[in-house]
Amino acid sequence: MYTGKHVNLRPLQPAFIMASTGEVVTYRELDARSNRLAHLFRKCGLKRLDHFSIFMENNSRYLEACDAGERAGLYYTCVNSYLTASELAYILVNSESRILITSKAKLDVAREAIKTCPKIELCIVADGGGESDRIVGLADATKGLPVTPIADESLGTAMLYSSGTTGRPKGILRPLPAMMKAGCSGRR
């Protein structure tokens, strides 16, 4: 879900309401959060067509991570939150992810998985604090970053994984059109 069109038309309308907690996140809030995260991706050196993964339960930060990937022209993989550390590590390595976004609830599994994933440069805890240079809290990592779109905003998409036929999941990488920009894709 790209928030650009909605934030201009209905900034104070709820983008979503968390059923379990009643938390309301408006389009303006979602847009600001995803813009900050997109800026963090650029600050970390991720460029168009690079990859990150999301490993967390359904929470209010999930859509923010997806939206930031969409607006930064990145591939992102939403990893099943019930996987083991070795299964998560396989997907992180196979997808060539450079950043992992996780939650406090899944941090123990994520921490174990990234031990065998040298290409994971940063693990971001979406709803918690950091504990090292490699495992950081989202709020601290995005503090002070702009709430406006990144300069080179372009369309990104999810990289899905199938169950595979060999017992290992297979990544399904859909090519992104070279000229498709988020601002001219009809999604604003």
Q: Is the pLDDT of residue 2 over 70?
A: no
The pTM (predicted TM-score) of the whole model is: 0.89
- What number of other Cβ atoms are within 10 A of residue 184's Cβ? 11
Q: What is the pLDDT of residues 39-94, one digit of tens each?
A: 999 999 999 999 999 999 999 999 999 999 999 999 999 999 999 999 999 999 99
Range scoring the smallest mean pLDDT among 9-18, 35-44, 102-111: 9-18
Give the CA count within 13 Å in the CB-facing half-sphere of 50: 19
Q: Is the pLDDT of residue 5 over 90?
A: no
For 70-90, the DSSP string reads: HHBT-EEEE--TT--HHHHHH
Architecture of domain 4-184: 3-Layer(aba) Sandwich (3.40)
Q: Is the pLDDT of residue 183 over 50?
A: no
Q: What is the pLDDT of residue 163?
A: 72
